[in-house]
Structure 1
Amino acid sequence: MSSDHISADERRAKLSALLQKRIKGRAGPLSPAQQRLWFLEQLDPGQPTYHIPTVLRLKGRTDVDALERSIGELICRHESLRTVYELDCNIPRQRVLPFRKFNLTIVDDFDGDPDAEGKALRLISDNISEPFDLEYGPPVRASLYYLSPLHQLFVLTVHHIAVDGWSLTLLLRELEAIYPAFVRGDPSPLPDPPLQCLDFVYWQESAFRSSALATQIAFWRAELADAPEEINLPTDFPHTYTATHKGQLHRFDIEPSVVTALRDLAHSEGATLYMALIAIYAILLHRLGGQCDLVIGSPAANRPIIEMEGMVGLCANILPIRLRVFGYMSFRELLRKTRETTLQAFQHQDVPFERIVEYLSPMRKLGRNPIFQVLFTLQNLPRNPPAKLGTKTGRLPPVVGNGRAQFDLSLSANEVDEGLVCSLEYSTDIFSEESGMRMAGQFRSLMFAATNQPISPVLSLPLNSAADRARLLKASYGPASPLPQRCPVEAISRLALTHPGDVALASHNKLLTFAELESEVAKWTEWLCVSGVGPEVRVALCAFETRDIVVGLLAVLRACGTYVPIDSHSTNNRVEFILKETNATILLTTTELLDRFDWFHGRKLLLDRPPNIPDSQSHVPLAKAHEETAAYIIFTSGSTGSPRGVVATRRGLYNHINVLQSMYPLNQEDSVLHLTNVSFDASLWELLGPLSAGASLISCPAFAKRSPSDIVEVVSQNRISAIQVVPSLLRTLLDEPRLNRCQELRRVYCGGEPLSMDLSRRFFARLDAELLNMYGPTEATIDVTSWRCVLESNLQAVPIGQPIPGAVAFLLDSNLEPVPDNVLGEIFVGGVGVARGYLNTPSETANRFVPNPFGPSGSRFYRTGDWGRRCNGSELEFGGRIDDQVKLQGNRIELGGIETILKQRSDITDAAVALSIPLRGEPVLAAMVVSRTTIKIDELRAYLLNRLPSVEVPAVIRLVKALPVMPSGKIDRQAVAESARLTVDNSFEPLHVGDETVLAGIWAKVLNVVEIGRHQNFFELGGHSLLAMQVVSRMREAFGVEVPLQQLFKTSTVASLSAWLADVRRNF
C-alpha cells in the first residue's frame, strides 16, 4: 500500500508499536538528515555553518535565575537538546544524556560604554561561531548580555542537528510560557511532550524499510528526471571546490498592504501566500540566470500526526520543488502551475531528501549541494514572543547570523503583523555584499510588479528600480567624442610638411618618408578624381604590399570614394562576389595580380605603375565628403553562405582613430606592425592610426605571417613598439622562446575573440607591456569598448571594458530593457560608429540595425547577437554568442553559412557545424555530414577550401547516418561539438621510419600529445590553422621545403603529408 493512502490512525498504530520496543537510554540510529549533518561536521569540523542563533532584545528587569531554570526546563523536556552523537562500530549513533543543571552565561562588562550594543553584537557573533562538540554535548547554549540594568540581549544558539525551524518556534513559545511561571515561583504549566525526536527517527526508519513509500519514491524519480544538476546564477566570484561556506544576511521588509494584496491574489487562484512567494522567487532566479528549469529546496515540517507537533528535533524534510518558468507566462499562469507542483511535492514529503539523493545519484561536487543550491522558507508561525520575558521583548532583526551560508542563496520570509520580514542569506564565496543587497531589492520589485501586473508576461515585470534603471542606462554611454574631429587623412598629409623626412612606411626593406608618401598619394588621388571617383563611388583594392595598400587607401579616402578591400589570398569565388555585390567600377591592383581579374570589365589601375595624368585633366578639384559618406565596405560571414557587406561611414572611422589616439597615444618614436588582413575592419586602424600620429608603419612579410617565430623575429629586428593581434595568435607568440628579444614592444592591442584570464596572466609573465582588450563588431566600426588589462585581478574573466568616447553599449533583455548588474543581456551598440547597414540587403539591415529607444529621435543601434554582463557595476564582460555565430582566431563565422555550402553538394543531404574544444583545449570547428554516397574527407575538405576561407573549413569532419537531435527535434550542436573529442579511426597504425617519424615529432610538439599514428588526423588531434602555421614553419626548418598552409588541410595525416613531401622532392 502506498503512503498516499496511509491514514493518521495507521501512522499512530505504527508509532505505538515502535515505542513499545524502544529502550530508554540506549543509543539509537540517526535520521537521514542527521546523518548528512553529522557527515558534514566530520568533513569540515568546528564550522558554524549549521549553528542556528536566536537573539532577543529584552527591555526591563530580567529574572536571571528564572531565565536560567527556564532554559534548563526546555533541555529537560526535549531529549534532542541533551543528545550526543558518537561512533559505534564505525556507525554514527545518537544517545540521550540524563539532564544536568544548565548554566546561563552572563556578560555584563558594558556599563557606561557608549558602543555597548555594537560591542555586544561583536561578542555575540563570536559566541555563535564557537564550535559545538557533538560527541560530548550539549548541542545548545544560551547567554545574556547586560547592556544596562534595563536592557539585555538574550542569545540562544542550537546546532541544526538537534532542531529545525518548527522546533525553534516551539521552544520560544514554550519559553514564554515557562519563564513567567518560574518568576512567580510556580511549576512549569506545560505537560510532558508525548514524543521525542528519537521516536520520530525509529518511526521514519521503519516506514522507509516498508514498501509504503514506493509510490512516493517513484514520484520523485519521475519529477526530477533530467532536472538540471546546478542552478545558473550570475556570480561575482567563481565557484571553487574549496568553498568556505561563508555567508552574510541581508534583511528587508515587505509592507502589510503588499502582502495582503499578494495573499488575495493567491487566494483567487486557490493558492497560498507560500506558493505566491516561491513563484516570485523562481521568477527572480529565472531572470537572473536565464534558466527556465529550476529546482528550489523548501523545507516541510514533516510532522504527519498531531502528536508530533510538540516534538523538538530535526524532523523537517527539504523538498526539491521543480518549477519551470518561461518569459511569456503571466504571473497568474505561473502561480497556477506552482500550486500544482507544490501540492504534489508536499503530498510526497515522507521520502527524506537524503534518500532522494541516493536514488537519483546526481553529479556530486565538493562544496555544492546536490539537486538544488537555492532555498526558500516561509515561516508562518508566530516568531516574536509576547512581552513576557521583560517589560518589552522583541526578536532582534537578523543582523547577527552565524556568518555562514548553507546554500548559494536562501530566501526566508517570516509573517509578522500582516507584513513580511525577509532575510536573504548568500554565500560570500560567490556573491559580493552589493549583489546580495541588489538581489533582495529585485525580489521586492518583482513582488510589487507581480501583484500589480498579474497578467503581464513575467519577462516584462521590472527587476530594476527607477534609480537603478537610470544608472544602468547612464553607464551604457561612453564619454563625448573629442572635438574638433581630426581627419586622419589630412593629418598624414600635414606630416609631409612638419616631418617630411620621417619614415612613414617600411615595406620589403624599402623606406617611404612622409614626404614621399604624400607625393604618391597626391598623384593617385588626382588620378582617381580624373577617373570619376567621388562620394559613394566604390573603389576595390587588391594588393600584396603594405605600401600599395596604404597609398591606394589614402588616395580613395582623399578622393572621397568608398574603399572596398579585397584579400589577395581570397578564393576567386569570393573576389568575384565582392566586386559584383559592390558594383565597383574601379579596381586598384598590381601587375602581379592582374591576371586574376581578366573577367573584370571595370577600370583597372596598377598601383606599381605611376599614374600618367594628362595636363589637361590635372588639378581636378577634390569633392567634399559629408561625414555620413561611406568610407569603406567590409564583408563579413553571412547566414546564407554568402558574405555580407557592411557600409561604414567616415564619421565612424575618423572618430575611432581619433579616440584610440586620445586613449592610447602613439607618437613619432613608435613603430607599428602591419599584420592584420585587409578583409578585417581592424586593419583600417592599423593602416591609418599609426601614420596619422606620426608613427612608422612596418610591413610584415607574407612568409612571416605564416610562422609565429618569424613574426617574433620581425618585431624584434624592426624594434616594433605596438602590434595588433587576436588572442589565438597571441597565445602562439607567447610560446616562442625568442619573445624576450622584443625589448621595444610596449603595447599589444588584442581583439576579435575572447581574451582569457590565463592568457592575460601569461602575457604579463613574458612581456613588460600594455595589453588592451578591445571589443566591437564590424557593424559598429572596429571597436566599441576597451579595457587596459591588469596583472592582479579577482575578476572571473578579462573584461571588455567600457564604451569608448562616442560609443554606446547597452545590455538589454528581449523587451529592450536594461538587465541588472551581473546578469547576461544582449549587447546593443550605438553611437557615432554604427554603420549604415548591410549592402543591398534592406531586410537584414532593418532586422539588426534597430531604432534606439533611449537615444534621440531617428537614432539606431546594432544588435550584436553577443551576450554580455556588467561586472562591478561598470566594466562589461563578454558572455559568448547568442546564436550559432562564433568567433575563431579573430574571425566571425556563421555556422549556418558553412552548413549551406556543405549542403550545396548534390551528394550531401544534411550537415551541422559547431565550435568544439578538443584535446589541447584550443577551439576548432567540427562538422557532421550526412551523405548519399561515401565521400573522402580530404576531398570534402578540398571542396570547402575552394569556397571558404581556410579558417572556416572544419578541422574535424565526420560522416554520419543521421544528425544528432534533441527531444525538441532541433540539432544537438553539443553532440556535434563533442564529436571533435572522439577518434575517427580507432585503429592505431605505427609510423614508417623516415619522414613520417620526423613529421610525427613536429606534430607531437605542436599538439602536445605523446603518440601519433600515421593515419590520425591533425585537426582531430586538436590542431587548427594557427597550430598549422607552426607545423609549416617547423617543416621548413626540418625539410628545407616551403609548405603551403593549405596543404596541411588537404593532406592532414602523417602518411598523406609524407607522401606529398616525397612527390615534391621527385618533382623538384
Structure 2
Amino acid sequence: APVRLTAHTDPVAAAREIAERQPDERAHVAYGGLRYLNPQTAPLLTARPQVLFNYLGRGGESEAPHVTGGDGCTPYAVEVNAWTDAATGSLHATFTLAEDVPDEITEYWHRALERIAEAAATAERTAPVSPLQRGLYFQAQLTGPAAHYVAQSYFTFERRLDTDALARAMGYVLARHPAVGAGFTTDEDGNPVQVLAAGRRVDVRTVHAATDEEVDALLRADRERGFDPGEPPLIRLTVVRLPDDRDGLLLAYHLLLWDGWSREIVLRDLFDAYRAVLDGEPLDPGPATPGFEDHTRALAAKDPAASERFWAAHLAGLSGPTLLAGPAPALPDDLPRALVHTLTAERSEALRSAARTYGVTLNSVLTGAFGLLLGARTGRADAVFGVTVSGREGEGLADVVGVLLNTVPMWTRARPHDTVRAYLTGVQAARADAMEHEHLGLGEIQRAGGHDTLFDNLFVLQNFLDLDAFAEMNARHGITSVRADDSTHYPFTWVVTPGDRLTVKLEYRDHDTAGARRLLDDYLRLLDELAARTGSTEPLGALPGPAPAPRP
C-alpha cells in the first residue's frame, strides 16, 4: 500500500502511524481494489511511485525476499531493502538506484536516521492509559502525593549489593518495558495519559540501618514521601546497608505503573539483569514486544458502545450499592490491617472437590460464598462487590508489563428456594456473560448502570503467583526474606490465593480487628457449608446465617 509523505511530515509521527496499522491486510486489499477494479479511481492511481521501500524484518541478507528480484534491475528510481541482523541487532540496507540518481541519497537517509534516533532518545510522547489506570489516576489526584497507592517490596540479601550494577539493571528494565518509567498527566480534554520517554533513569540511594526497628522506620518514611504522578520516574531504589555484610533493597513504586502479574516480570528482569552486569554479560536494550503502549492504544481504539449497553442491561434492576462499611465511613489514612487464614490441605481439597461436583470452577464457589456473606451482612438477597480480572486474554499479553488488571462489579442474586448448585451455576454464568465486556473501566460501568458507586468490598483471586518460581529466584540471587506491602482504597479487600492450602487474607481499613475476625470466620464457615452440602438438595435458605455479633 502507498505511504504519502511530504517535506513537512514529522518522521517520528509518520513511523508511529505506519506501525499502528501494520500488519493491515485489509488496507492492502482496499488499495488494490481502488487501483485496479474501481473505474472511477483507477485512472487516478496509474502513476507508478518512484520510490519503493521494504523493511524485511529480522534475519540475514541471504534470507531477505527482495520484492523486485534483487538482481539489480528495478522499475523504480530508488529501491531500498532494509533488515535487522538477527545476530547483532544492527540495521542494514541495500539501495538500488536509477542511473541519474546520485549516490549521496544514501548519506541523506543515514543522517536522517541519526537525527530521528537522537530526537527519539529524549522526546516525550503520550499514550492512552488502561481503564484501571484511569481510575487510579483520579483517585491519586484526590488524595495528593502522600502514601496512597505506594507499593513497597523489601528484600534482604545474604551479601552486599553493587549499586552501580543495580542502577544499570534498572536502566535495562526501563528500556525493555517503557511503561515502567511513565509519568502521568491529562490531555487537552482532561483525559489521563501516560507520558513516555527514553533515557529515564532511577538513581540508587544508599542508607544504613543497624536494627529491624530502623528498617521499619525507613520504610514508613519512604511510604509517606509518596509520588507525584506528573514527575517520573515513579520508582525509588534504596540499598540498606545492614550488619554482618548483608544488604536490604527497597523497591518503592506507584501503583499506576504495573499490576501484581507484572511485578513478577519486573523482579525477574531486574535481578537477572543485575546478575548479567556483574558477570560482564551484554544486555539487549531493545523493548519487549508487544508492549503496554500497544495494548492501551488497542483498548482506546475499541468502540465502548456495545459494552456500555451490556453493563446497562446487566445491572438493570439493581436497587443500590452494597456498602458493608456504610455510605460515608471515617477511615484512617494509614495502611490497612490484615488477617490471614490458611486452610488445611483437607479443607482446601474439599472445596476443589465441591466445585467439581457442582460443575463449576473453584472461583465460582469462592465468589458465590462471598456474595452470600455480603447479602447476609447487609440484609439483602443480592450483593455487589468488585472482582479483579487479569486483562491478559489476548495473544502475547502474558509478558506485558503495565496495569492490565481491571476491576469490574460482580452481582450475585441468591433466591431462598434455589439449591446451592443452581445458585453457583448462576454465579458462573453471569461471570461468563460479562467476560467479553470486562475491559470497560469501572467509572464507565457505573455510569452505564446509573450508579455513582456500587460496592466497598474488593475480592481478588490471586491465581497468578508461581511460588516455586519465586523461591527459585530468591535462592539464585541470595534473597533470604521478602516483604511486600500495598493497599487499595476500599474499606475491605479480600485476597484469596489457591494452592494445596488455600489462603484467605482480609485487609480492613477501619482497624476493627474483632469485627474483621468475625467477618473472616463467617466467610470460612460458609465455604465449609458449601463444601459439605454437595449431595444435598436443600435450598439456600437452609444455610446457617452469620454468627451473632457479641453484645457491647
TM-score by length of 1: 0.37
How far 1:377 moved relative to its partner? Answer: 1.0
Q: SS in structure 2 opposite 1:207?
A: coil
2:313 is equivalent to residue 230 of structure 1: no
2:104 is equivalent to residue 427 of structure 1: no
Q: For the Cα contact (< 8 Å) 1:229–1:372, is it kept in 2?
A: no
Aligned counterparts of 1:819 and 1:105: Cα–Cα separation in 2: 51
Work out which of the residue numbers 186, 198, 207 in structure 2 matches 1:107: 207
Q: SS in structure 1 opposite 2:289?
A: coil
What are the within-5 Å matches in structure 2 for residues 821-836 of structure 1? 821=549
Please tell me the residue identity of whatever aligns with 1:437: R
Aligned counterparts of 1:262 and 1:59: Cα–Cα separation in 2: 39
User: In the alignment, which residue of structure 1 is the partner of 2:228?
Assistant: 133
User: In the alignment, which residue of structure 2 is the partner of 1:570?
Assistant: none
User: In the alignment, which residue of structure 1 is the partner of 2:96?
Assistant: none
What are the within-5 Å matches in structure 2 for residues 959-978 of structure 1? none
Please tell me the residue identity of whatever aligns with 2:238: S
How far 1:68 moved relative to its partner? Answer: 4.0
Aligned counterparts of 2:541 and 2:157: Cα–Cα separation in 1: 45
> 1:472-511, CA deviations, whole angstroms, 9 ceiling, x for partnerless residues?
xxxxxxxxxxxxxxxxxxxxxxxxxxxxxxxxxxxxxxxx
User: In the alignment, which residue of structure 2 is the partner of 1:324?
Assistant: 413
User: In the alignment, which residue of structure 2 is the partner of 1:71?
Assistant: 170
Aligned counterparts of 1:277 and 1:136: Cα–Cα separation in 2: 40
Please tell me the residue identity of whatever aligns with 1:361: G
Aligned counterparts of 1:120 and 1:48: Cα–Cα separation in 2: 17
Note closer, same or farther for the CA distance 1:195–1:118 as it changes in structure 2 (3 Å cut): same
What are the within-5 Å matches in structure 2 for residues 603-622 of structure 1? none
Note closer, same or farther for the CA distance 1:435–1:328 as it changes in structure 2 (3 Å cut): farther
Q: For the Cα contact (< 8 Å) 2:309–2:448, is it kept in 1?
A: no
Please tell me the residue identity of whatever aligns with 1:17: R
2:541 is equivalent to residue 439 of structure 1: no
How many correspondences in the alignment?
432
Work out which of the residue numbers 14, 17, 41 in structure 1 matches 2:21: 17
Aligned counterparts of 1:157 and 1:330: Cα–Cα separation in 2: 48
User: In the alignment, which residue of structure 2 is the partner of 1:263?
Assistant: 352
Please tell me the residue identity of whatever aligns with 2:221: D
Note closer, same or farther for the CA distance 1:331–1:89 as it changes in structure 2 (3 Å cut): same
How far 1:223 moved relative to its partner? Answer: 0.9
Aligned counterparts of 2:219 and 2:227: Cα–Cα separation in 1: 15
Aligned counterparts of 2:284 and 2:471: Cα–Cα separation in 1: 17
Q: For the Cα contact (< 8 Å) 1:245–1:405, is it kept in 2?
A: no
Q: For the Cα contact (< 8 Å) 2:522–2:547, is it kept in 1?
A: no
Note closer, same or farther for the CA distance 1:276–1:397 as it changes in structure 2 (3 Å cut): farther
> 1:146-165, CA deviations, whole angstroms, 9 ceiling, x for partnerless residues?
44446554332221222122
2:276 is equivalent to residue 199 of structure 1: no
2:425 is equivalent to residue 350 of structure 1: no
Aligned counterparts of 1:37 and 1:73: Cα–Cα separation in 2: 26
User: In the alignment, which residue of structure 1 is the partner of 2:551?
Assistant: 874
2:185 is equivalent to residue 86 of structure 1: yes
User: In the alignment, which residue of structure 2 is the partner of 1:220?
Assistant: 311
Work out which of the residue numbers 263, 288, 307 in structure 1 matches 2:396: 307
User: In the alignment, which residue of structure 2 is the partner of 1:867?
Assistant: none
How far 1:88 moved relative to its partner? Answer: 4.5
Please tell me the residue identity of whatever aligns with 1:28: A
Which structure ranks higher in relative contact order (CA pairs < 8 Å, sequence separation ≥ 6)? 2
Work out which of the residue numbers 801, 805, 820 in structure 1 matches 2:548: 820
2:343 is equivalent to residue 254 of structure 1: yes
How far 1:347 moved relative to its partner? Answer: 2.9
> 1:991-1039, CA deviations, whole angstroms, 9 ceiling, x for partnerless residues?
xxxxxxxxxxxxxxxxxxxxxxxxxxxxxxxxxxxxxxxxxxxxxxxxx
How far 1:216 moved relative to its partner? Answer: 3.0
How far 1:128 moved relative to its partner? Answer: 2.5
User: In the alignment, which residue of structure 1 is the partner of 2:110?
Assistant: none
Aligned counterparts of 1:301 and 1:98: Cα–Cα separation in 2: 27
Q: For the Cα contact (< 8 Å) 1:373–1:409, is it kept in 2?
A: yes
Note closer, same or farther for the CA distance 1:57–1:284 as it changes in structure 2 (3 Å cut): farther
Q: For the Cα contact (< 8 Å) 1:32–1:352, is it kept in 2?
A: yes
How far 1:283 moved relative to its partner? Answer: 2.3
Q: For the Cα contact (< 8 Å) 1:30–1:94, is it kept in 2?
A: yes
How far 1:458 moved relative to its partner? Answer: 5.0
Runs of 5+ in structure 2 lacking a partner?
A: 1-16, 25-119
How far 1:217 moved relative to its partner? Answer: 2.6
User: In the alignment, which residue of structure 1 is the partner of 2:269?
Assistant: 174
Aligned counterparts of 2:527 and 2:480: Cα–Cα separation in 1: 27
Please tell me the residue identity of whatever aligns with 1:36: G
How far 1:194 moved relative to its partner? Answer: 0.6
What are the within-5 Å matches in structure 2 for residues 916-1065 of structure 1? none
Q: For the Cα contact (< 8 Å) 2:208–2:240, is it kept in 1?
A: yes
Identical positions, percent: 22
2:529 is equivalent to residue 452 of structure 1: no
> 1:496-536, CA deviations, whole angstroms, 9 ceiling, x for partnerless residues?
xxxxxxxxxxxxxxxxxxxxxxxxxxxxxxxxxxxxxxxxx
How far 1:14 moved relative to its partner? Answer: 12
Please tell me the residue identity of whatever aligns with 2:366: L
What are the within-5 Å matches in structure 2 for residues 589-988 of structure 1? 819-821=547-549, 873-875=550-552
Please tell me the residue identity of whatever aligns with 1:444: L
Please tell me the residue identity of whatever aligns with 2:296: V
User: In the alignment, which residue of structure 2 is the partner of 1:240?
Assistant: 328
Note closer, same or farther for the CA distance 1:316–1:442 as it changes in structure 2 (3 Å cut): same
2:102 is equivalent to residue 374 of structure 1: no
Aligned counterparts of 1:284 and 1:151: Cα–Cα separation in 2: 46
User: In the alignment, which residue of structure 2 is the partner of 1:142?
Assistant: 237
Aligned counterparts of 1:350 and 1:15: Cα–Cα separation in 2: 23
User: In the alignment, which residue of structure 2 is the partner of 1:762?
Assistant: none
How far 1:244 moved relative to its partner? Answer: 5.1
Please tell me the residue identity of whatever aligns with 1:106: T
How far 1:176 moved relative to its partner? Answer: 4.8
TM-score by length of 2: 0.69
How far 1:394 moved relative to its partner? Answer: 6.2
Aligned counterparts of 1:150 and 1:447: Cα–Cα separation in 2: 47
What are the within-5 Å matches in structure 2 for residues 491-530 of structure 1? none
User: In the alignment, which residue of structure 1 is the partner of 2:137?
Assistant: 38
How far 1:412 moved relative to its partner? Answer: 0.9
User: In the alignment, which residue of structure 2 is the partner of 1:743?
Assistant: none
Note closer, same or farther for the CA distance 1:62–1:258 as it changes in structure 2 (3 Å cut): farther
Note closer, same or farther for the CA distance 1:53–1:44 as it changes in structure 2 (3 Å cut): same
| Structure 1, 125-134 or 52-61: larger mean CA deviation | 52-61
Q: For the Cα contact (< 8 Å) 1:145–1:154, is it kept in 2?
A: yes
Q: For the Cα contact (< 8 Å) 2:344–2:501, is it kept in 1?
A: yes
Aligned counterparts of 2:419 and 2:310: Cα–Cα separation in 1: 27
Note closer, same or farther for the CA distance 1:214–1:333 as it changes in structure 2 (3 Å cut): same
Aligned counterparts of 1:302 and 1:15: Cα–Cα separation in 2: 23
Q: SS in structure 2 opposite 1:49?
A: coil
Q: SS in structure 1 opposite 2:320?
A: coil
Q: For the Cα contact (< 8 Å) 1:176–1:389, is it kept in 2?
A: no
Q: SS in structure 2 opposite 1:388?
A: helix
User: In the alignment, which residue of structure 1 is the partner of 2:100?
Assistant: none
2:31 is equivalent to residue 27 of structure 1: no
> 1:909-951, CA deviations, whole angstroms, 9 ceiling, x for partnerless residues?
xxxxxxxxxxxxxxxxxxxxxxxxxxxxxxxxxxxxxxxxxxx
2:265 is equivalent to residue 157 of structure 1: no
Q: For the Cα contact (< 8 Å) 2:265–2:399, is it kept in 1?
A: yes
Q: SS in structure 1 opposite 2:398?
A: helix
Q: For the Cα contact (< 8 Å) 2:200–2:233, is it kept in 1?
A: no
How far 1:426 moved relative to its partner? Answer: 1.7
Runs of 5+ in structure 1 lacking a partner?
A: 1-12, 111-115, 365-369, 463-812, 822-872, 876-1068
Larger radius of gyration: 1
Q: SS in structure 2 opposite 1:308?
A: coil
How far 1:383 moved relative to its partner? Answer: 4.8
Q: For the Cα contact (< 8 Å) 1:255–1:419, is it kept in 2?
A: yes
Aligned counterparts of 1:190 and 1:448: Cα–Cα separation in 2: 51
Instruction: Name the Cα RMSD after superposition.
Output: 3.3
